[in-house]
Amino acid sequence: MTMVNIGEAKKHLEELIEKAMNGEEIVIAHAGEPKVRLVPVKPDVNNWFGMDEGKIWIANDFDSFNG
């Protein structure tokens, strides 16, 4: 685990991002107290839009009912 203060994180942000992308745990601290963890974003493999495409069917006369 790498812990850096906010000032160091600002100076070395690109390097810290690269370390996080390679699996290293990066913690950013303020006044020596851990505040946040820098982690890579996982890609969303389950795209919600269109996931049910082709699973339902609506009749052509669906709107013609006058009940």
Distance CA 38, CA 5 (A): 12
Q: How high is the pLDDT of residue 60?
A: 85
In this predicted structure, what is the pLDDT of residue 46? 67
Domain boundaries, given as residue ranges, for the chain: 1-40
Task: Give Cβ neighbours of residue 25 (< 8 Å, ≥ 6 apart).
Answer: 1, 2, 37, 39
Q: What is the pLDDT of residues 16-65, one digit of tens each?
A: 999 999 999 999 999 999 999 999 988 766 667 777 788 888 888 878 76
Does residue 67 contact residue 42 with C-beta atoms inside 8 Å? Answer: no
Three-class SS string for 23-60? CCCEEEEECCEEEEEECCCCCCCCCCCCCCCCCCCCCC
Superfamily of domain covering 1-40: YefM-like domain (3.40.1620.10)
pLDDT at 66: 67
On the question of pLDDT at 14 being above 90, the answer is yes
